[in-house]
Chains A and B, each alone.
Chain A
Amino acid sequence: EAGVTQSPTHLIKTRGQQVTLRCSPISGHTSVYWYQQALGLGLQFLLWYDEGEERNRGNFPPRFSGRQFPNYSSELNVNALELEDSALYLCASSLRLAVTDTQYFGPGTRLTVL
């Protein structure tokens, strides 16, 4: 069974640009989560999508946004990039209604903002 996949693997952008990151969940999973792993800041929750709707949002500015498609894949968009947006962005998926509720992570997209 294929795991969570993310694209691209690496990305280099400059300040003020916009970026889109993509995530495909494990087959059968309806929930997708996005996390930011910035150096020295640990893992911070960004967004949770389920059944195409945004269900929860972390403490991030509105220039971080996303969506979930009917096939449950997801995009994370970051507008007006700032230097501190440089981080590893991790996507995870889960069976929302499963008793176990375990989140399974993809390999991440490393974003560098110059």
Chain B
Amino acid sequence: GNSVTQMEGPVTLSEEAFLTINCTYTATGYPSLFWYVQYPGEGLQLLLKATKADDKGSNKGFEATYRKETTSFHLEKGSVQVSDSAVYFCALSPYQGAQKLVFGQGTRLTINP
């Protein structure tokens, strides 16, 4: 079946620290991969995506590379800010067409000034 596993949270970092949130997946076929962010009291916002192997998604200083050989899509940012505090969800879409998203359990990130 299709599943996504994210690193356990919560994660607490100091401002300007380097961030990595691990995400690995299991899927049949060739899924599309996504990172969504949920700020307190809000819905989900798309952060970045990648639709095929070796693609790198990037947005707002965040990056993630679609690694088929390790079935991973780790989220990284070189220097985090307090405003990055949120819950981050890794997700996959099992097919290239619009289908249901399968989400990881989410990782709560807190950045201290």
**Measuring CB to CB, which residues of chain A are less than 8 angstroms from any residue of chain B?**
4, 6, 31, 33, 35, 42-43, 45, 48, 50, 56, 58, 90, 92, 94-96, 98-108
Minimum CB–CB distance for A64 against chain B, Å? 14
Which of B36, B42, B44, B98 is the one whose CB lies under 8 Å from A101? B98
Could you tell me if B100 and A33 are in contact, using CB atoms closer than 8 angstroms? yes
Which residues of B sit under 8 angstroms from A95, Cβ to Cβ? 98
Interface string of B73-113 (1 = CB under 8 A from A): 00000000000000001010100111111111110000000
B26 contacts A by Cβ under 8 Å: no
Interface size on B, residues (CB 8 A): 24
Interface string of B55-89 (1 = CB under 8 A from A): 00000000000000000000000000000000001
With contacts A43-B103, A45-B100, A100-B51 known, is A105 near B93, CB below 8 A? no
Minimum CB–CB distance for A96 against chain B, Å? 5
A-B pairs under 8 A by CB, number = 63
Which of B43, B46, B99, B106 is the one whose CB lies under 8 Å from A102? B46
> Can you pick out 29 interface pairs between chain A and chain B where the beta carbons lie within 8 Å of each other?
A4-B43, A31-B98, A33-B101, A35-B101, A42-B104, A42-B106, A43-B44, A43-B89, A43-B91, A56-B100, A90-B43, A92-B44, A94-B98, A95-B98, A96-B97, A98-B98, A99-B96, A101-B32, A101-B51, A101-B96, A102-B49, A103-B93, A103-B101, A105-B43, A105-B44, A105-B45, A105-B46, A107-B43, A108-B42
With contacts A42-B105, A43-B89 known, is A90 near B44, CB below 8 A? yes
**Measuring CB to CB, which residues of chain B are less than 8 angstroms from any residue of chain A?**
32, 34, 36, 42-46, 49, 51, 89, 91, 93, 96-106
Which residues of A sit under 8 angstroms from B99, Cβ to Cβ? 48, 56, 101
Chain B residue with the shortest CB-CB distance to A40:
B105
Chain A residue with the shortest CB-CB distance to B91:
A43
Measured in the bound complex, the distance between the Cα atoms of B100 and A45 in whole Å is 6
Chain A residue with the shortest CB-CB distance to B101:
A103
Measured in the bound complex, the distance between the Cα atoms of B100 and A35 in whole Å is 9
